[in-house]
Amino acid sequence: MNIRKTTEKIVEGVLFSSSTVTTVAVLFIIFFLFKSGIGLFQDSPVEKNYAIALNANNPVKNLSAKQIKDIFNGDITNWKQVGGKDGDIELFTLNELGSAYTEEQIGSNLEHIPTCLNEYVKQHENVITYFDKKFYPRNFQGKVLDIPKISVIDFLLGKEWYPTSTPAALFGVLPLIIGTLFVTFFAILFALPIGLITAVYMAEIANERTRRFLKPVIELLAGIPSVVYGFFGLVVLVPLIQQTFNLPVGETALAGSLILGIMALPTIITISEDAIRTTPIVLKEASLGLGATHWQTLLRVTLPYARSGIMAAFILGIGRAVGETMAVLMVTGNAAIMPHSLLAPVRTIPATIAAELGEAPMGGTHFKALFALGIILFIITFVFNSLVEVVKSKKEK
Amino acid sequence: MSKLKVEARDFNLYYGDFQALKNINFQAEPNTITAFIGPSGCGKSTFLRSFNRMNDLIVGVRTTGETTIDGVNVYDKSINVDELRKQVGMVFQKPNPFPKSIFENVAYGLRVNGVKDKTFIEEKVVSSLKQAALWEEVKDKLKKSALAISGGQQQRLCIARALAISPSIILMDEPASALDPISTAKIEDLVYELKKDYTIIIVTHNMQQAGRVSDRTAFFYMGDLVECDDTTTIFTNPKNIQTQNYITGRFG
């Protein structure tokens, strides 16, 4: 008697702790994601320990990360373009310092670099310089630029993703967000009709034998590892697209959409089929009893009744496509540009994280930016999953 | 003797290997109400559903013999089942309105049959609702969902829906079994009224109901049509001992 009670207590304890551990793990992961990601907005786009400085007489007070990048890339060449006086911008980094001063002036142990820097910046009105803070001159007579921290707006609405550009990295994730939604949209556009037709066929038209064959096949489709889909896409789909549309490369948004569409099919088919099958037989009988044909019954009674289930299938399919990483990474070409055509490469959020996390220094700005991308992805999928709940609860009313 | 509306001749029905109806012979005259009674599983609902071939939906159903409506065998190969079902209205055990508006429920049968004329549909909806004694209760909420009215009203709505396609026969499968006594009384009054225009066959578990509304009663047992006669005869002077036992409540 006592032993049984004790056993029950132990089992209860195990059940309780396993559910607690699960919950805590989920919360911890979310906490970790947010903690790592939010840190991005405490960082400056310029690498730590580096400074950007101008001549003290230059009226320009601050530059955005994008302006800095454009200046150092040679896309902006005149101070007028960034609100200064007319005058060609002169870039001055340690390379230029090496050619402007002799080895003797610099010193054998580079000990005179600060002095040279100070002097050069003082003498050249149009100079912009970028240097390691360990060379920071005493009594520096240049003007060190105050670089604003990365703002949420720049992050979300920035159109350029150059996470490793120096001196200032650009973390504009708009192309990645749009890229993700773009690929997903076309994936669903392609998967929804096919999935719905298959579901209708399986639920309403196929006989029991066909259904018993089809159902496991489609469920098997869901079990194939995504890297296999990616491989298939890379080897079959990509060359096919390249040849068909006569493109320089076949790694395009189209390839990603097709692969994602195929991957979302099992979700869409199984859930909509279940929804269609839940339509009460009495409603179908009522319709048939009034002389409606099988098709009329399907279109006017069965599908409207299953509408919310089909919506849920559709949204879960989107959720599946949004978060998919490997296959997309392999076939979309991964160019972080605003998507403009199905036949151009795009880059999605998950593919960006997977491709870049390995090369981003732990705890650095790039690293944090990738986590911030993770937060965005989390929010997108969270919204879609919540939508499913909303759609479901509507049906219950 | 007037012309027969409904008839079954040596009718057998099998679900796979199981014979659900055994050699049924049955007749019903126009503008009569026939009640089918019998214990659960005796085949009365199955037989009812044979007149509009609702049993076709079940996989593995086979029939032999004939059931005829106006002398035409409904199981003949030339019969279009959808056309057949337009002549035969059906009311089910539980009210099963579509999750649409009250108006659309009644209009459904017309719409699926290709009626486009708006005025005709409106007139037909109104007249069907009046015929089903529901008009006064719903005339102000035709656009409201049919699921928002009471169960008894829903069942009368289902009757109105069946009437809208102008059938000549109405099949009712325990139409009041899910309703309270007041709603049941309303349905019974309605059934009695409808007799003027339609031939009605009603399956019921409720002996009193059969006694109250029907002209003739058929007793089914284990797939056999045991006895079919005027309702008063069945209830006062049944010829068969099984019928008598069932009616007096000794089994069933």
Q: Pick from A290, A295, A302 the residue to mutate for testing the B interface (most B CBs within 10 Å).
A: A290
Residues A344, A385 within the same domain: yes
CB of A301 within 8 Å of any CB in chain B?
yes
Cβ-nearest to B112 among A208, A282, A291: A291
Cβ of B99 and A305 within 8 Å? Answer: yes
Residues A210, A97 within the same domain: no
* Residue-by-residue DSSP string for A85-98: -S-B-EEE-HHHHH
What are the structure tokens assigned to B82, written together? 């959808």
B193-216: per-residue pLDDT in tens?
Answer: 999 999 999 999 888 899 999 999
CATH number of the domain bearing residue A135: 3.40.190.10
Coil, strand or helix at A50: strand
Cβ of A285 and B112 within 8 Å? Answer: no
Round to whole Å and give the CA distance between A83 and B22. Answer: 99
Please indicate, yes or no, if residue A197 is contained in any of the structural domains. yes
Cβ–Cβ < 8 Å for B207, B223: no
What are the structure tokens assigned to B136, written together? 């006064």
CB of A144 within 8 Å of any CB in chain B?
no
Please indicate, yes or no, if residue A283 is contained in any of the structural domains. yes
Please indicate, yes or no, if residue A226 is contained in any of the structural domains. yes
pLDDT band at B3; cut points 50, 70, 90? confident
Residues A289, A327 within the same domain: yes
Q: B 168-227 residues with CB below 8 A of A? A: none
Alpha-carbon distances of B195 from B190, B201, B232, rounded to whole Å: 9, 10, 18
Q: How far is A395 from chain B (nearest CA, A)?
A: 11
Cβ neighbours of B99 in A, within 8 Å: 304-305
Residues A103, A192 within the same domain: no
Round to whole Å and give the CA distance between A162 and A101. Answer: 32
Please indicate, yes or no, if residue A368 is contained in any of the structural domains. yes
Instruction: Compute the count of residue pairs across chains A and B with CB atoms less than 8 Å apart.
Output: 65
Number of domains in chain A: 2
B57-100: per-residue pLDDT in tens?
Answer: 888 899 999 999 998 999 998 999 999 999 999 999 999 999 99
Strands A161-162 and A170-171: antiparallel
What are the structure tokens assigned to A138, written together? 């005493």
User: HSE on the CB side for A319, CA within 13 Å?
Assistant: 18
Please indicate, yes or no, if residue A135 is contained in any of the structural domains. yes
Cβ of A282 and B96 within 8 Å? Answer: yes
Please indicate, yes or no, if residue A157 is contained in any of the structural domains. no
Strands B61-69 and B72-73: antiparallel
Q: A 178-217 residues with CB below 8 A of B? A: 208
- Partner residues linked to A91 by β-bridges: A128
Residues A73, A214 within the same domain: no
Among A132, A148, A164, where does a domain finish?
A148
Cβ of A288 and B158 within 8 Å? Answer: no
The pLDDT assigned to B251 comes to 66
Question: Which domain does A199 fall in, by range?
Answer: 174-396
Cβ–Cβ < 8 Å for B10, B64: yes
Burial of A129-147, coded b for 16+ CB within 10 Å and e otherwise, reads bbbeeebbbeebebbebeb
Cβ of B162 and A290 within 8 Å? Answer: yes
Placement of tokens 């670089």 in the chain: A147
Of the candidates A381, A316, A344, A7, the residue with the CA atom closest to the CA atom of residue A177: A381
CB of A396 within 8 Å of any CB in chain B?
no
Cβ-nearest to B161 among A280, A290, A293: A290
Residues A280, A332 within the same domain: yes
Q: How far is B24 from chain A (nearest CA, A)?
A: 23
Cβ of B96 and A283 within 8 Å? Answer: yes
Arithmetic mean of pLDDT, B153-160: 94
- Partner residues linked to A126 by β-bridges: none
Residues A203, A284 within the same domain: yes
B107-125: per-residue pLDDT in tens?
Answer: 999 999 999 999 999 999 9
Cβ of B57 and A288 within 8 Å? Answer: yes
Alpha-carbon distances of A297 from A197, A302, A304, A392, rounded to whole Å: 16, 6, 10, 23
What are the structure tokens assigned to A130, written together? 């970028």
What are the structure tokens assigned to A228, written together? 């296999």
Q: Pick from B51, B58, B96 the residue to mutate for testing the A interface (most A CBs within 10 Å).
A: B96
What are the structure tokens assigned to B119, written together? 């005025």
Residues A141, A68 within the same domain: yes
Residues A87, A222 within the same domain: no
Cβ of B96 and A208 within 8 Å? Answer: no
Please indicate, yes or no, if residue A39 is contained in any of the structural domains. no
What pTM did the predictor assign?
0.81
Which residue in B has a C-alpha nearest to residue A290's C-alpha?
B109
Write the CB contacts of A206 (distance below 8 Å, at least 6 apart in sequence). A214
A193-231: per-residue pLDDT in tens?
Answer: 999 999 999 999 998 899 999 999 999 998 899 999 999
Alpha-carbon distances of B145 from A156, B118, B125, rounded to whole Å: 45, 20, 15
CATH number of the domain bearing residue A204: 1.10.3720.10
Residues A96, A243 within the same domain: no
Of the candidates B73, B54, B77, the residue with the CA atom closest to the CA atom of residue B65: B73
Q: What are phi and psi of B71, to 5 degrees?
A: 80, 0
Q: How far is A204 from chain B (nearest CA, A)?
A: 12
Cβ–Cβ < 8 Å for A120, A140: no
Cβ neighbours of B83 in A, within 8 Å: 291
Residue B221 host element (H or E) = strand B216-221
The pLDDT assigned to B120 comes to 95
Cβ of B92 and A283 within 8 Å? Answer: no
Cβ neighbours of A293 in B, within 8 Å: 82, 112
What are the structure tokens assigned to A388, written together? 């499913």
Residues A204, A332 within the same domain: yes
Residues A294, A337 within the same domain: yes
Please indicate, yes or no, if residue A167 is contained in any of the structural domains. no
CB of B167 within 8 Å of any CB in chain A?
no
CB of A131 within 8 Å of any CB in chain B?
no
Write the CB contacts of B150 (distance below 8 Å, at least 6 apart in sequence). B183
Round to whole Å and give the CA distance between A30 and A37. Answer: 10
Residue ranges for chain A with pLDDT beneath 50: 397
Cβ of B85 and A305 within 8 Å? Answer: no
Count Cβ atoms below 10 Å from residue B203 Cβ, excluding itself: 25
